[in-house]
Amino acid sequence: MALAQVLQVAFFGGLAFSFLGKGMLPQAAQDFMAENQLMVFGALFGCNIMSGQLINTGAFEVTLNGTPVWSKIETGRFPQLHEMVDKLKSAGLQQ
């Protein structure tokens, strides 16, 4: 989780420097970013994609008033609409 946060900070920080603050960087860094724009943006978006993959759990958990209704982690799948409606009704949801 900490690695994902570091990657997100790198992504947003890199975007901010790219668009707003190149003048705050040393001249060598400014020159590198100017000469390699595609690579810089590719690396930044790579950071964003990797952080998303690290954070993604695949969980789909539904609760109603603190009562578990559906868990993709337990069932291994998403519910069908009729299953979700039935589960919510049996958990006490009123129409």
66 and 91 Cβ atoms separated by less than 8 Å: no
Q: Is the pLDDT of residue 69 over 70?
A: yes
Residue with structure tokens 């589960």? 87
Which of the four pLDDT bands, split at 50, 70 and 90, describes residue 7? confident
pLDDT of residue 34: 87
Residue with structure tokens 């799948």? 77
Q: Is the pLDDT of residue 39 over 90?
A: yes
Q: Residue ranges per domain, the chain?
A: 2-55, 61-90
Q: Give 40-52 pLDDT, tens digit per residue.
A: 989 999 988 988 8
The model carries a pTM of 0.54
Query: Rounded to whole angstroms, how far apart are CA atoms 11 and 5?
Result: 10
Q: What percent of the chain has pLDDT over 70?
A: 98
H-only helix segments in the chain: 2-19, 27-35, 37-55, 72-75, 81-90
Q: What's the rounded mean pLDDT across residues 23-39? A: 88
